[in-house]
Amino acid sequence: MRTLTRSFAQGLLVLAPVAITIWVVVFTVTTLDKWLNTRIPGLGIVIAAAGITLIGYLAGNVVGDKLISTLESGMRRVPLVRILYNSLRDLFGAFVGSKRKFDKPVAVEVNRHGLKVLGFLTNERFDDSHLAGHVSVYLPESYNFAGNLIVVPRERVHLLDADGAEFMAFIVSGGVTDMNAAKTVIDGQTV
C-alpha cells in the first residue's frame, strides 16, 4: 500500500504541472478564439500577440504616446479605476520597461546567526530623517503574488549578482527552481 501511495504521489507530481499548463494554454487559446470569433484554432492568440506588439510600437512614437497619455489621464480621474490602474501600471512597470524596480536582488540579514531573507532593493534613500541610513526591500512570497515591504538599515542589505527574473522565479517557486544566483558568493562563501 505504501508503494502504491508513493507511486500515485510521484505520478501526480509529474502529471499535475503538465496538465495545468496544457489546460491554461487551451483555455487561453479557445477563449481568445471565441472573443475574436475566429474559426481557425489558435488564430486568436496570434491576433492578440500582434495587437499587443502593435500597441507597443505605437506607444513608442509621438502620436501613440499622446494617445496613451490621454487615456491614462482619463483613467486617473475615475476614483476606483484610478487605484486599480495605478497599482497595475506600477506592478507591471516594476518588472519590465525603463523604470524596472525588481532589478536589484538582495539578501537581508535577519539576525546575528546568519539567517537571511531574499528580496529586491526598491528604495535606497528616504527623505524622512527618522529613516536615514535605511533602505526598503520588497520580499516576494513563495507560491503567491503577494509580498511584504520592509525597511531595514542599509548595512544589513547585501546586493547579489543575479538576474532579476531568475531570482524572482527562484523565490516564488519556494527555492526549487534552478538558478545561477543560488551559487552567488555571499559573505565570502559559495552557497
pLDDT at 24: 86
pLDDT at 190: 40
Higher pLDDT residue, 190 or 37? 37
pLDDT band at 41 (very low <50, low <70, confident <90, very high): confident
- Torsion sign across C-alpha atoms 35, 38, 42, 43: negative
Top pLDDT among 128 and 187 is at 128
Q: What pLDDT does 187 receive?
A: 46
Q: Return the domain boundaries, the chain.
A: 2-95, 105-190
The predicted-structure confidence for 124-180, as pLDDT tens digits, reads as follows 999 999 999 999 999 988 887 788 999 999 999 999 988 887 888 888 888 888 776
Residue-wise pLDDT tens digits, 8-35: 888 887 788 788 888 988 888 888 888 8
Kindly report, residue by residue over 67-101, the tens digit of the pLDDT: 888 888 888 888 888 888 887 777 777 666 666 66
pTM recorded for the entire structure? 0.56
Which residue(s) pair with 189 in the sheet? 186
